[in-house]
Amino acid sequence: MQSQRRYNLLDNKLKFFAITTIIICSLIIPVTIPHISHQSMIYHIIIHIASLNISVFLGLVSIFAYLKNNNIRMFFMALGFVTLAIVEGIMLLSSTGNIDNVILPWVNIELPHIVLLVMLTLFGLGLLKAAN
């Protein structure tokens, strides 16, 4: 008897990336539409949209890889990509003017810089755990 292979959406990464891109872009349409005619801003916004799409895709793929393998390295990598998606979301909202630059007053540092430091730390932990 021939065994049937269960189809998994993650088997085709290109389709999965296309689906996540469509979902992310459709969710951020209300944020970007008012700025579509501002030629000086739209390119900056497009860069953040592309970065957000890639980071969400990589975050989801790494979360599914962690759930499949239960590897602590994958866990830290997944958290790193999730924090990258968070910082890209903050930077997108900031570049569209929907939120002001969030500055932590007690250290006078912008929030995206702190989140990027957390992201780098998580990626570093993922690499260091892999060496052990």
Degrees to nearest 5, angle at CA 110 with 105 and 116: 135
The answer to whether the beta carbons of residues 78 and 66 sit under 8 Å apart is yes
Looking at residue 98, its pLDDT comes to: 78
CA 12 to chain CA centroid, Å, is 19
Query: Can you give the pTM of this predicted structure?
Result: 0.82
Whole-angstrom Cα distance, residue 53 to residue 29?
13
Residue range 88-108, pLDDT digits in tens? 999 888 888 777 877 878 888
At residue 6, the pLDDT reads: 54
Largest CA distance in the chain: 68
14-33 pLDDT, tens digit per residue, is 899 999 999 999 999 888 88
> Among residues of the chain, what percentage have pLDDT more than 90?
42
